[in-house]
Structure 1
């Protein structure tokens, strides 16, 4: 046991060193690019995000919790960290809300990292919800760089597509790809607010939600066993008991999630955890995990529990249906394993070349494979993308699944148009009989095609002139 413990400790230390090295490389790039401008940025105070001028009057009964505690004022210029380049957007503490407490900040760290000493690295801090050019082929699309935050961005992307294609005009039967090319900046902001609200509301069991914003004031004085990040300590929390109020509030402050320097992905992740609550999250997780992120090659990556929280509103650690009470040998498990309990609006498909070769790939259950809308978040060799169809009836009419079109978007800046795929499940002409194992299939066919076949077994996929990728 001592040897195992030492091995675990050495691995944790190595991951931490790799994380620090990754941050140092980023700082080297920043210093080289910005030179003396860095000092100027550090000394400037954070800018304030005021509500939109046309909506500044606000609305009564929005569900915001007024602050009964005035957080202590700190010298933001002295405490500002170099990673605040560009500067973090901050709202005025006068807009209300409740300041984060020391206990809540510590519990937030523990449910994310498993301790109070880890903080988000540069890749996470610079991540936000950045749209592509309005009124373009990809005007509906978010740009997502490689890294741990990408999974969150692409799940939000799937919900943006859901809003733009299906829920924006719920009584319309005509869902066209053309409508995704006619999205202006205001439409992008409304879609993002709606997508974030849907996810937060589901996490709050469709009864409540909480939004966290960062202010210019420091709300807590951390203890010695807590590592300061100069961001979490300035959170102001806003609670709501009506979904429409959540959406309106997010839209009023959408720049705090979609603009460079907003730390928008982290801010949304905090809101998600607060909406679910720490207590519920601990109940969701089983004995396989106790926190939502883990270190991989110097970067923090979301566990399956975090993905399921974003997709279903519950942080189930596994992708199978229901709860598993028995092991493969039929014996009763010491602690039941928690899977997915209900269908979600957006689905999930999974394929890993490495796990196929090691015969360890988990089987995604029908709850995730068959969502309410024909939109799937795809994990392909640990890279996230979205597969979707504008046909509402694709999942309700089996005849539609004989020959149909799907659209594929991977979030990368290099993708300039949405990829059109034609899927044929009727002719079975993809030579399945000529190969003998999943590993053999993986060597012969692109991973995206293998992923699609986890949903439509034996399907032939036509890329319609696009060179297959992934």
Structure 2
């Protein structure tokens, strides 16, 4: 259609440039002598633009040359020519506007190429945004809240900002004061931690050796004892704000298939928004009386800013960050994510589009919202790919690998099975789902997801041994078969031990296993140079953003003589994963000095100690969906996932 319009404009312009046809003669040729002299007739008067009038009037004085005789132009011919010239002038203007729009479109396409290292830079400010149509506003509102929603649920979603905790011990986390939007906050929190831990430089680029480097801000903060007064200095406000802005924009472009994003702002802030956004008090005053009790309220309140350039979107979110930190922040971000994906695409992602995305009766974010923010699609399930039910029916799951993952207590209760995509994300960060809340679990070491190398080797050796076992599972093979196993697994056993194993003519697995445990890895054995007998130990951190009463020094005294303070909770968890061939009873009987840390490493030599007695909390059940034999320990109150 655009091409046809441009062709029409070109044709109109060509017609205007053609020479006017000869005017019709109203008198015979012999009467030409009585015609008025050249230029003796008056200049025609026309209304319109001064420039157009002058151009048309100037041309109206032209004469036609017929057989060498100048003749005055007839009124009919002059009117046709003036009409063509006016149409041509209008066509020229329209073509100029179209050309300018095309140049701007090319500029936007060039700008829309997301740079590898997005930075917060100054870009051209966009307009006041687009208003939602009446149809889109109603579809969006009922998609989120359904046909009926309680005032309590609306209050939860319209009174939750996206802002960091002011508590020194949890300053790296987003604080939640209302129930409901925890799914949105937890997903953003996971990406914020990814940026703080693994993308510490301003360009947010990942270098190949980054996994061996440290983000000395957050990492040092997490490793300093929390009773130290200087732990908050490790994270600056600028670092946190940068991580938050980049995380929000990344999620929105993820929802937009990495091609586009929509940023929702408030109409009440459209006028003089820069001045209002300088103060939280001014924003709060501007939002007084603002409600979202109906689709019409949503349509009046929200403006949409579409972007194809990640750089421009980063600048917009940076400018509007105080608005997202206001009481409407979580709601605006959810609207932004849904519109970035597209309302029709959202409904297509879902198995049951008739259900609201915010679940009743407590107003929690559905799994579809969490999946949308983690993988870019509002699918309702956590398994990989899709599940064919036959008869043309299928269930939709996670389509591809993700940056940050998801674990859920419901898997430990056998209600679902989290697939590889969510369970094994690129970075060791997981949103944790319980029956009523979402929290975040993360590690500083990117290697926590790697398989136990000794377990892998043990599996290969056992597979080779079993392939030669002709006893029907009795666990022994012949000496000739044993030589074949040694060749396949590249195991070199000292002659005296090999002779002892083969004395009876048959080799029993348990005896072979004891030799392997004492044989160095260089010889193909399973002797653990760390002294941990194949077990793994690492630390996980759990963050619960909802503000709860915790003990702290202060003026408000609790029953134990200590103050109760409303703040989020950050817990450090020591995880010990014994190898699958070692019973936990054997691990608890290991000889070594008592220590609460499990093991200490000094000058590269591991000192094996007795592990602490295992502790249990619902979070441990979530951890064991990834590490089935994990034993967890912590100091103080157990970590809470509710």
Alignment TM class, shorter chain as reference? 0.5 to 0.7
Contact 2:130 2:305 in 1 (8 A): yes
2:343 maps to what in 1? Answer: 278
Contact 1:116 1:227 in 2 (8 A): no
- Which of 131, 139, 142 does residue 107 from structure 1 map onto? 139
Deviations along 1:292-323, whole A, 9 cap, x unmatched?
Answer: 22212xx3222211110011111111111111
CA distance in 1, matches of 2:296, 2:149: 10
1:250 maps to what in 2? Answer: 317
CA distance in 2, matches of 1:403, 1:167: 25
CA distance in 1, matches of 2:265, 2:192: 21
Q: Could you list the runs of 4 or more consecutive aligned residues of structure 1 that deviate by over 6 angstroms after TM superposition? A: 116-119
Question: Structure 1 regions of 5+ residues with no counterpart?
Answer: 1-57, 67-95, 219-225, 327-331, 433-443
Change (3 A) 1:333 1:371: farther
Contact 2:251 2:373 in 1 (8 A): yes
CA distance in 1, matches of 2:539, 2:391: 43
Change (3 A) 1:393 1:277: same
1:21 maps to what in 2? Answer: none
Structure of greater relative contact order (alpha carbons < 8 Å, 6+ residues apart): 1
CA distance in 2, matches of 1:289, 1:304: 15
SS at match of 2:545: coil
Change (3 A) 1:469 1:256: closer
Change (3 A) 1:426 1:265: same
Residue 374 (structure 1) aligned with residue 428 (structure 2): yes
SS at match of 1:377: strand
Deviations along 1:62-100, whole A, 9 cap, x unmatched?
Answer: 6x4x4xxxxxxxxxxxxxxxxxxxxxxxxxxxxx21122
Deviations along 1:187-227, whole A, 9 cap, x unmatched?
Answer: 22222211111110100000010101002289xxxxxxx93
1:112-191 aligned at under 5 Å gives the runs 112-115=144-147, 121-133=154-166, 136-145=168-177, 147-169=179-201, 170-171=206-207, 172=210, 173-176=213-216, 177-178=219-220, 181=232, 182-191=234-243
CA RMSD of aligned residues (A): 3.0
CA distance in 1, matches of 2:353, 2:133: 29
CA distance in 2, matches of 1:289, 1:305: 13
Contact 1:156 1:196 in 2 (8 A): yes
- Which of 204, 225, 245 does residue 256 from structure 2 map onto? 204
Alpha-carbon distance, 1:367 to partner: 0.8
Which stretch of the first structure deviates more once superposed, 311-320 or 301-310? 301-310
1:426 maps to what in 2? Answer: 578
Contact 1:429 1:460 in 2 (8 A): no
Number of residue pairs matched by the alignment: 351
CA distance in 1, matches of 2:535, 2:182: 30
Residue 321 (structure 1) aligned with residue 379 (structure 2): no
Contact 2:543 2:568 in 1 (8 A): no
CA distance in 1, matches of 2:199, 2:451: 20
Question: Structure 2 regions of 5+ residues with no counterpart?
Answer: 1-120, 223-231, 271-292, 454-533, 549-566, 587-614
Contact 1:394 1:401 in 2 (8 A): no
CA distance in 2, matches of 1:455, 1:310: 22
Change (3 A) 1:144 1:336: same
CA distance in 1, matches of 2:163, 2:299: 22
Change (3 A) 1:269 1:469: closer
Contact 2:191 2:404 in 1 (8 A): yes
Which stretch of the first structure deviates more once superposed, 368-377 or 414-423? 414-423
CA distance in 2, matches of 1:312, 1:189: 23
Change (3 A) 1:431 1:229: farther
1:405 maps to what in 2? Answer: 539
SS at match of 1:454: coil
Contact 1:288 1:317 in 2 (8 A): no
Change (3 A) 1:289 1:402: farther
The structure having more radius of gyration, on CA atoms, is 2
